[in-house]
Amino acid sequence: MSSSVRWTTYRNPRYNFEFPYPSNWIAFPMPDNRDGQAFRDPQNPDFEIRGWAEFAMLDASSLPRQAPSPQKNFTTNQGAVGKLQVDLGSQTSLMTLTLNQGEVLYNWQGQCQSKQFADCYRFFYYVASQYRLPVPEK
């Protein structure tokens, strides 16, 4: 990524989360449920980022009494704590951020060809660190 990248911010109309993306990236069509948005690099269609949210559908009766919470290993610039995971595949590699606030799971993901992942890592990490949750109502 060039250091002269201009950024814009995606703001989700349903769940009120947001994250930055390069202003020249192309948006995928938004799903009918308006749960998120994906964007891709026009110069490299295999290079994409997406953010989405969903209501956590946990049935307490099916969980063990002391279900372990996912290991939290990442803090956004906003101070939200969640799990950041890297999955290196043979063709495609991913960086995925999962955050929880109340009954909602917030997700962000960066994806690129595995052979380019080392070059994409810092970009993905930056965008994940900028992911913002809605301010909880008091």
Half-sphere exposure of 22 (CA within 13 A, CB side): 18
Please give the sequence-ordered ranges of beta strands (E in DSSP) within 12-91, or none if there are none.
18-22, 26-27, 36-41, 44-55, 74-75, 81-88
- Residue 79, helix vs strand vs coil: coil
Q: What is the pLDDT of residue 67?
A: 44
- What's the token pair of residue 136? 């909880």
> For the chain, which residues make up each domain, given as ranges?
7-56+72-130
pLDDT truncated to tens, each residue of the chain (138 aa)?
Answer: 555 789 999 999 999 999 999 999 999 988 888 899 999 999 998 999 999 999 987 555 555 444 455 589 999 999 999 999 999 999 999 999 999 999 999 999 999 999 999 999 999 999 999 999 998 776
Of the candidates 107, 109, 71, 72, the one whose C-alpha atom is nearest the C-alpha of residue 92 is 109
Please list, in sequence order, all residues whose beta carbon lies within 8 angstroms of the beta carbon of residue 124, skipping any fewer than 6 positions away.
49, 95, 110
Return the DSSP state at 60.
G
At the top level of CATH, which class does the domain 7-56+72-130 belong to? Answer: alpha beta
Q: What is the pLDDT of residue 66?
A: 46
Q: What is the pLDDT of residue 100?
A: 94
- What's the token pair of residue 40? 């891709």
Q: What is the pLDDT of residue 14?
A: 93
- Burial of 68 (C-beta count, 10 Å sphere; 0-12/13-18/19+): exposed
- The residue type at 110: G
